[in-house]
Amino acid sequence: MTKPAARQPLRRNARSNRARILATARRELGRNPDITLEELARASGVVRRTLFGHFPGREALLEALAEEASEALRSALTAGARPDEPAERALAYFVLSMWPVGDRYRMLLALARRDLGNERVAEILAPARDAATAILERGQRDGVFPAHLPPGVLSAALEAMTVALLEAVNTGDLGDEGAPVAVAVLVAAGVREDTARRVVDDVASAIVPEAAPAD
């Protein structure tokens, strides 16, 4: 009877160690992309053997971060989906919901391309790309966004711009607030700047009360 009870804390401890290692990796890899796993173990407060027990190599660690980011993106997409809103508001909801995830995992984009490859990055981002393309397609059909580019091409261009803005956060040239990014995306999609600012301000004020209970 006592043995199962004795094993349970070990499982909880293992989960706690894994979560702490991943959280430390998100922070430390942003500061030093070339940090070694031994250095990361020390920063996480675990011994080398514990870290390697969860992640036998750098690729395994980055893959775990990639999967964590993928799950976070899917959750943000669900929370930010507004199919009944006008397209410009739906796009603002989309950007404001996705930006915190991108900001949290911004270091992963460059590292994943280098260590995991472009195909894995594309797999992670595919649901977000599809959602953005659908919003842009609807907006072009409704006359909200100009149809000067196919929706898929415009979505890829907006994604590239957003990645560049995330990199600007990395270098300290841009703050991590999502509202200016949402305005930039709407303007790039073809919305007038004054309209974009008004839409983003309105959507941002609507999102805060929704998020408050979870805090």
User: Is 4 in a helix, a strand, or coil?
Assistant: helix
The sign of the CA dihedral 22, 130, 144, 85 is negative
The pLDDT, as a whole number, for residue 72 is 86
The more confident residue out of 213 and 94 is: 94
DSSP 65-117: HHHHHHHHHHHHHHHH--TTS-HHHHHHHHHHHHHHHHHHTHHHHHHHHHHT-
Which tokens is 124 given?
């992670």
Q: Is the pLDDT of residue 17 over 50?
A: yes
Question: Quick one: 30 exposed, middle or buried, by C-beta within 10 A (0-12, 13-18, 19+)?
Answer: middle
Tens digits of per-residue pLDDT, 49-88?
Answer: 999 999 998 889 988 988 888 888 888 888 878 989 999 9
The pLDDT, as a whole number, for residue 116 is 77
The more confident residue out of 33 and 156 is: 156
The more confident residue out of 112 and 140 is: 140
> Which domains occur in the chain, in start order?
1-56 (1.10.10), 59-214 (1.10.357.10)
63, 140 Cβ separation under 8 angstroms: no
162, 186 Cβ separation under 8 angstroms: no
Counting every residue, how long is the chain?
A: 215
Query: What's the mean pLDDT when you consider all of the chain?
Result: 85
Q: Is the pLDDT of residue 151 over 70?
A: yes
Q: Supply the pTM of this predicted model.
A: 0.79
